[in-house]
Amino acid sequence: MKVLVFGRRGQVARALMVAGPEMGVQITALGRDQADLSDPATCAAAIAASDAEAVINAAAWTAVDAAEDQEAAARVINGDAPAAMAQACATTAVPFVQISTDYVFDGRGTAPWAPDAQTGPLGAYGRTKLAGEEGVIAAGGVYAILRTAWVFDGDGQNFVTTMLRLSETRNALRVVSDQVGGPTPAQAIAEACLVIAKALAAGQQASGTYHFSGAPEVSWADFARAIFATAGRDVTVTDIPSAAYPNLAARPANSRLDCRSTQEIFGVGRPDWQAALAKVVVRS
């Protein structure tokens, strides 16, 4: 099977390039120099010129705080580009997989968010990603929107690598404890995307929105403790509320995702983030 991937340097894009051959999939990954999401028409043209049997968009504007001041630019990348991709896929009858985020929700309560739950982004990043979802659905083709949260690997810019970097010079850190979610390995997201793409390409009539995040749920503070324990680093973590660590953009307090339909329809269960963490963290 041939799959066209938008993105080449991001965590999930890199994981797709690893997982593809292992799963019998030929991956063609397009970087910004080949398909710049700030120019949606070039993305659509790349799909039209491709012989791929499925398309996965693993590229996005992910600078959450910067999006507050540059929402128009973020909307082109997160909203207009996926819509153009989905329209091109609909024209060529190729299934499209779009990676989205828990930030489309307002983070209220403690119950896991179902895929059909009412959305309510708190900031620009969430609004632009929701615009992308709406554009994909409106295109009318075969699609899957896969919302995920708290993505990590051992190399990219993410919470795990940040904590490990800080632990090189600090033996005590204050970490937010009132935000809860499921840390999700990039490799697991890549594999889930490929399973879904294969199913849609094989004719499974399962277009829709799905959730996929790691288990069990944990706070950022407890995730940090697990990182340091796994890495064998003696760092004291002190719990603090979100208000004590202000960001330009608000973060959802509840990032729990109800992933049951992904398991039921595609056979893809929630990954164990603790086992994945042990694989990506080098013990010191």
Q: Which residues are catalytic?
A: 125
Distance CA 246, CA 196 (A): 37
Token pair recorded at residue 207: 């277009």
Token pair recorded at residue 263: 């398991």
| 130, 104 contact by CB (below 8 A) | yes
DSSP state of 113: B
CB atoms within 10 A of CB 63: 14
Token pair recorded at residue 280: 């990506």
Token pair recorded at residue 21: 């051959």
| 81, 136 contact by CB (below 8 A) | no
| 86, 139 contact by CB (below 8 A) | yes
Element (H, E) at 198: helix 186-201
Token pair recorded at residue 274: 């603790």
